[in-house]
Chain A
Amino acid sequence: MCPVAETKEAPLIELRGITKVFPGVVANDDISITLRKGEIHALVGENGAGKTTLMKILYGEYKPDKGEIRVKGQPVRITGPSVAISHGIGMVHQHFMLVPGLTVLENIILGSEPAKGGVLDTAEARKKIEAIMAANAMPVDLDVDVEKLPVGLQQRVEILKLLYRGAETLILDEPTAVLTPQETNELFKTLRALKEQGKGIIFISHKLDEVIEIADRITVVRRGRIVGELPVQEATKAKIAEMMVGKPVLMEIPVPEVNVGDEVLTLEDVTFVEDGVKKLDGITLTVRSGEIYGVAGVEGNGQEELLKVVSGEYRPTSGKVMFGKQAVNSLDPLRRRRLGLGHIPADRQKQGLFINMPLYINAVVGWQWQDRFSRRGILNYKNMRTTAKEVVEKYDVRTPSVEVPANALSGGNQQKFIVGREISFDPTLLVAAYPTRGVDIGATEFIYRQLLEEKSRGKAVLLVSADLDELLTLSDRIGVLYRGRIVKEFSREEVTPEKIGFYMLGGREE
């Protein structure tokens, strides 16, 4: 461990020897970190490594069993988020805490409304917020419904909320997980501006490229302990990844050479109109066996509709969807599953799992019709449990048993479970939507390997992702989706991130 350099000024935040034990697990084991003024300190580690627990201790949501928290050199006891904010500590959660239906301004002042003689004084607040926005180059229209804002701006509102309350330390929990590359760049601009002003930022992330780009110092946590702290100058992706996982991680996953076979999925001139809007506009694409076809694009350009047209939840308004040589336009999701469709859904909690039901039931979601799970309408729980245990074992899902409900698992483990479930049923066509969103690097590598393995086994994979690196790593061909059209298709050899970015933002060929 590197010794922390002594500076004249006391650091903004100092955590000393923090230990937190949950039944059966040491979530934090003697963790000490510091955050100085004007510093971005990245905290990286796999899911379950203890990052979030540590931050919840700092934010007052948990009480540490041992250890001390100092703010500007003074020992403090943080008993709750309101105490944290009074010490200038604010946190942006992964899931935003905004009230839909209220304007941006109302959301920002909610909970600390300025009042004059009992009457809400928004003019004052507006002035203050506008000053903050100007100082940090983070403009937002204050009078629109916060629900109408894109995710990147919603996140900006969250940050404004904290700054408005006078936060000097910002904790960002995987802030880029939900952002497009462009939005991520905007966020980084904001963070740099905040740093200039002497704020301290704790940045939690799995995305090592981003960590290296934005952080000043990086602390790696594994299994509740700090395995190392290094200045960004000394950091490389491979080095951090190895520290995180505890063994070398192959960042460059070898992509197997596979002979491409017959067309498995074909879309011919598929158009989908909803409420008079062309969500998909004449899409033509094919995915062949032994091939991964990537779909790139800024979210909201038709990805959701494309996925649903392929899965059978939506029927195309015109055009043709074919599995192999069979037209499947009129087939519902169940019939398409019977033809060998596997589907890693875009939203694991909303679509992929029944989060209050035990894992053994979740293990057969989408495959419940198979004879071994229900014969003559009677369920076979024994086979469900067996299947669930196989998925848990083979795909390294961390869970005490298959009896627990899905919501007892962390996001990364839920995702591994879904990926495992879909692959273990041996589909011919695998639709993978954002397969590694919010998943740590170890699990990401694992999921990549699984997808490539499917390709090697001659399966066809349709990969929709917001992560360009992911698309570039895995795809044999990439189509760029813009306003419901595939505006450009690249082969693996000719593609670069810049080229994709150009078309993603609506660029056209000269």
Chain B
Amino acid sequence: MTRRQRVAVVVVAVVAVAATLAGGVVRNLPVLGGLALALAGLLFVVAGIVADARRPDTVIGRLLAAVGLSWSLSAALTNAPNRFLFTLGLVLFPLGLAGLGHLALVFPSGRASSSLERLLVRVPYGMALLGLPVIDAGECPECPGNLVGIDIGRGFGRAYYSGLLVAVLITTVAVLVVLVRRWSAASPVARKVLLPVLPGACVFAAAYVGGLLAELGLPSGLGDRWAVLVYGLLAVAPFVLLGGLLRARLARANVGGLVVELGDSSPSGSLRESLARALDDPTVEVAHWVPDRGLYVDAEGAVVDLPVADPRRSVTLVERGGRRVGALVHDAALRDDPALVEAVSAAVGLAMENERLHAEVLARLEEVRASRARIVQSADAARRRVERDLHDGAQQRLVSVSLALGMARASLGAAPDGALGSLLDQAAGEARLALKELRELAQGIHPAVLTEAGLAAALESLAERSPVPVEVVGVVDGRLPAPIEAAAYFVVSESLVNAVKHAGASAVSVRLGRDDGHLRVEVSDDGAGGARVLPGSGLEGLADRVASLDGRFELVSGPGNGTLVKVELPLGEIPCP
């Protein structure tokens, strides 16, 4: 309905209420019953307009307004002096009742879901028209009378009336059965949507059945009081329907909360919980679309198969900028509120896109970390190769030269042949020195002992060659992955060099330990302290090397308090050589 149509409907209903009152007063008719009906109609109209504004996608709002309008007009027209208008007023009341049944059957989607339901929607309208001749015009001598009215006191009229009552009874019972079955088959989520309306409609239909039984003179328990109950329930009906609609509005307000919640960059996984709250559906599932693999996965990366032919589950695709981001799998009852699901999936699109970008950034970071580790390891491998080349080439040849010189000197025999002998001695000495320097050079590039014998032997050899006493505490049994051994070794050797060269330490202590999958190395000295990790320094190189293995590097070096280097290296994923 447009805004203008809504205003017009309300104006007509208000005018009908006024006309009921005025007509009754002017023509001196009993106004109370008519006024109650007109006001109840107005309530339905207002509820219908609110419903239509909230849910223009379903026929519910318009149907409510139509029911209300028909009752308001029924009240007003049965006060009219004209016989045709009076008769029209008479038939509008049962037509409104048929509309009420229609409402109960199609709430909340506005569509009948089976051919039986479609039949039960239509039949009462026909019965309302067929019933016009037997509608009781009431004890009203002033009224113009029913244009097509027949006497129901006897003969054909009596039979027609009774037959119609039985038909209405059967139809109402059928509606009641359909409503009860719908309720018992509904999922918990669906029941939340149906809660005030469907059970209310069942009670109303049951009361109506009771009233019909009483009218037919059959045992019905309450006798004439059924009529009071039916009209009482009728007065409550618009409030029940409005209540149901307000619940829907509250659900919509959840979408606003969801948008705020998702904006809070909540950790992955809570997206599902936020959604469950917003949709009031604890069974909701979030499926992320993986374009590379052409399938959906959940937050843990497990493949999700979207339900295809499950009447209780429904799928809403989530798109963003025309691209598929994922899908929500939820209770089929939520299909009755497509606007809510649409709003939620729009809000979720942003969050899912964020989740995907977050995952991508993490993957990139992982790539960078892996490549950093590879760079360090390939540098180590290159140094090992250089050391090996020196060993296999220059060092071997120099040893042979040195031995040959020794033999040449020896072949001169005991007779010291002046110049040649001393020349050979000098050459042998130079060769020995060159060999020693070359060995130290190779050692500095990459210690052979680390490759050959492992960390423990390498540290022992470091301690032996150190100019200051080095105490090594703790043992690491067996071999560790090469990058770990190299990192631990260089931490100790670099710290030793710093302790001796820069801090003037007189003693150094090395502590080794292995626990919870970590190798811990601590090097402390009694030197001057005040060491800092400066750009391009050896300590920075150590920190980088440790970081490349996801380790922890700590430097404690207050001036005058010595220096402590603490390193923790995870032994996890790196394979042993």
Query: Do chains A and B interact in one complex?
Result: no
Interface residues of A (CB under 8 A from B): none
B→A interface (CB under 8 Å): none
